[in-house]
Structure 1
Amino acid sequence: MTDFATRMTQAALDLNTQKLLLSVADNSCGTLVALSGKKLGDAGMAYVAEALQKNKVIDWLDLTNNAITSDGVKALADTLTAHETLCTLTLTDNDIDDEGARTLATVVGSNPNINTLSLHENEKITPVGIKAIQDAVADRPDFTLAIETGSP
């Protein structure tokens, strides 16, 4: 068992999630990785980041409904900033707030390959967080920010 696999086991990630993350790490998962509803939380984002560092083909990452907060976004930020093939990042229905939105603004502002960011149903993101992202990509007409929140 690899060190990566051992650490995922110790972190109590379920077996199917471990297998999926291992396939991401060894580039055998294809270009779309759907980790929706896997209950990864912030702790799981460190494993997603590590798998992405090894993956040079993924272009779409779906992390919908994983109880990710701004701490989880921070765990992914360096990897996402440097990833050369990721085009679409879906973080719908998580627990991201304006701090996480500002982190994502830095990511999408630094990585021109990411051209779609979905943040639907992150109720803690206010217009301040949305504006941070919009400002970061103001010179990128091809960028799509998909967001609807319950915030005023």
Structure 2
Amino acid sequence: MMMQFLSLSLTHTQLDLSYNPIGTDGVKALSEVLKFHGNINTLKLGWCQIGANGAESVADMLRYNTTISVLDLRANGLRDEGAKCLARSFKVVNEALTSLDLAFNEIRDDGAFAIAQALKANEDVAVTSLNLSNNFLTKFGQSALTDARDHVFEMSEKEVNIFF
């Protein structure tokens, strides 16, 4: 019989489940709870093996959650499909989320284009920091994100720091 241990760090406003293999089912259950409850400001789910389907659950939660301002989804194998799910949630007014970390997720240009379009589509987007480092972006994906950053600044004078 194999035992798994879950490492949980919870402060008043931060929930850190990083490095725990909660997977798609775990993040789906967590997302349902955080959709309408809690006062979590920082949610860390790096290295949790959530995949693209897990990103869909997180994206759905972000449509309703009004408290999470920092979201860490590093190294979850989100790929383009997961990035596209998260991009769709940006199109809904979310005044809380300011920092999103998607580093090490095997995201390519298609995912970058989806995120860029979402940033352009929502003039009220609150995101000011977007980390896409250590993904598989070419100059085309980087250019799309840079154009989106410039568009957001022109429309709202809001700085969006994008790292790749």
**Do these two structures clear the TM 0.5 threshold for a shared fold by scoring above it?**
yes
> AA paired with 2:87?
A
2:150 paired residue number: 138
Deviation at 1:25, TM superposition (A): 1.6
> 5 Å matches for 1:43-122?
43-82=53-92, 83-111=94-122, 112-122=125-135
CA contact 1:98–1:125 (8 Å) conserved in 2: yes
1:3 paired residue number: none
Deviation at 1:23, TM superposition (A): 3.8
Alignment gaps of 5+ in structure 2: 1-22
CA contact 1:24–1:33 (8 Å) conserved in 2: no
Change (3 A) 1:130 1:105: same
CA contact 2:28–2:58 (8 Å) conserved in 1: no
> AA paired with 2:88?
D
CA distance in 1, matches of 2:144, 2:24: 35
Deviation at 1:29, TM superposition (A): 4.9
- Residues 41-71 of structure 1: CA distance to partner in whole angstroms, max 9, x if unpaired? 0111121122222211111111101001111
Alignment gaps of 5+ in structure 1: 1-10, 148-152
1:28 matches 2:38? yes
> AA paired with 1:54?
Y
- Residues 12-39 of structure 1: CA distance to partner in whole angstroms, max 9, x if unpaired? 624xx45532442233151111111110
Deviation at 1:107, TM superposition (A): 2.0
> AA paired with 1:133?
L
> TM-score, with normalisation over the residues of structure 2?
0.73
Alignment length (residue pairs): 134
CA distance in 2, matches of 1:85, 1:49: 13
CA contact 2:24–2:54 (8 Å) conserved in 1: no
CA distance in 2, matches of 1:52, 1:33: 11
- Residues 104-124 of structure 1: CA distance to partner in whole angstroms, max 9, x if unpaired? 1112223431111101110x2
CA contact 2:42–2:69 (8 Å) conserved in 1: yes
What's the C-alpha RMSD, in Å, of the aligned pairs? 2.0
> TM-score, with normalisation over the residues of structure 1?
0.79
CA distance in 1, matches of 2:128, 2:81: 23
